[in-house]
Amino acid sequence: MELSGLFTGDERKRKEREMREAGRLPAGQSLTLKWPVLHYGSVPHFDSSKWSFFVRGLVKQPQSLDWTACKALPRVEEQSDFHCVTRWSRFDNHWRGISTRSVLDLASPLPETTHVLVHGEQGYTANLPLADFTADHVLFATHHEGQPLTEEHGGPLRLIVPHLYAWKSVKWVRGIELLDQDVPGFWEQNGYHIHGDPFREQRFSE
């Protein structure tokens, strides 16, 4: 749902102030009523007949799911905020999709697993501690505000990690790799912070 037509400039500033006072707007961020499109590389075209999703690494049962099998997994709904490292935040997003915990249950992670490397299209990756990957409100989203995710916003499947900066919310997810160490992803190798907590302003590596 596009919100920009529902608020005046003064109302947006009032809402921004409310979010800041409530502790929901991190330092250095501004509230947006739109949903900007930002990503590395071009927008891939989704072909359901060729699409697949893998779970590999430190697991007892590696998985390879086609789109039909992925859609058959249990669905969850979450409402959460969204903070981009480019200094905008969008609040109260409604997501529908697949719990990350459900995906892990299919593969049975080994006890030594500590981190997850998320793989997207075009070689994009992002790293997450296992605790962040399985945190409350984290999911693989297929829908936003009741509508299927568009390709420009990461459809058909996008990871949503609301408590970290949005580069961790990988678009066009194609698989996850379970590891016993932290392996920097694409932006982490290019100067971004290894963790990315917006409330600690972890934008760039020190």
For 7-29, what is each residue's pLDDT tens digit?
557 888 899 999 999 999 999 99
Q: Is residue 87 part of a domain?
A: no
Provide the pLDDT for residue 8: 57
pLDDT of residue 204: 94
Q: Which residues contact 196 (CB under 8 A, 6 or more apart)?
A: 85, 164, 165, 167, 168, 202, 203
Q: Give a yes or no: residue 126 inside a domain.
A: yes
- Convert the pLDDT of each residue in 57-84 to its tens digit: 999 999 999 999 999 999 999 999 999 9
For residue 63, the domain's CATH number is 3.90.420.10
d(CA 171, CA 140): 10
pLDDT of 37-64, one tens digit each? Answer: 988 788 999 999 999 999 999 999 999 9
Residue 23 domain-assigned (yes or no): no
In this structure, the number of other CB atoms found within 10 A of the CB of residue 137 comes to 14
Domain that holds residue 147: 44-80+92-200
- Does residue 121 fall inside a structural domain? yes
Query: Per residue in 91-130, pLDDT tens?
Result: 999 999 999 999 999 999 999 999 999 999 999 999 999 9
Query: How many structural domains does the chain have?
Result: 1
> Average pLDDT, whole number, for the chain?
93
Q: What is the pLDDT of residue 1?
A: 29
How far apart are the C-alpha atoms of 83 and 172, rounded to whole Å?
18
- pLDDT digits over 119-161, tens only? 999 999 999 999 999 999 999 999 999 999 999 999 999 999 9
Let me know if residue 106 belongs to a domain.
yes
Domain presence at residue 72: yes
Q: What is the per-residue pLDDT for 5?
A: 38
pLDDT at res. 59: 98
Q: Nearest CA to 72 among 162, 142, 132?
A: 142
Contact between 140 and 98 under an 8 Å Cβ cutoff? The reply is: yes
3-state secondary structure of 57: strand
The verdict on residue 86 lying in a domain is no
Question: According to DSSP H, which parts of 72-166 are helical?
Answer: 100-107, 130-133
**What is the per-residue pLDDT for 41?**
82
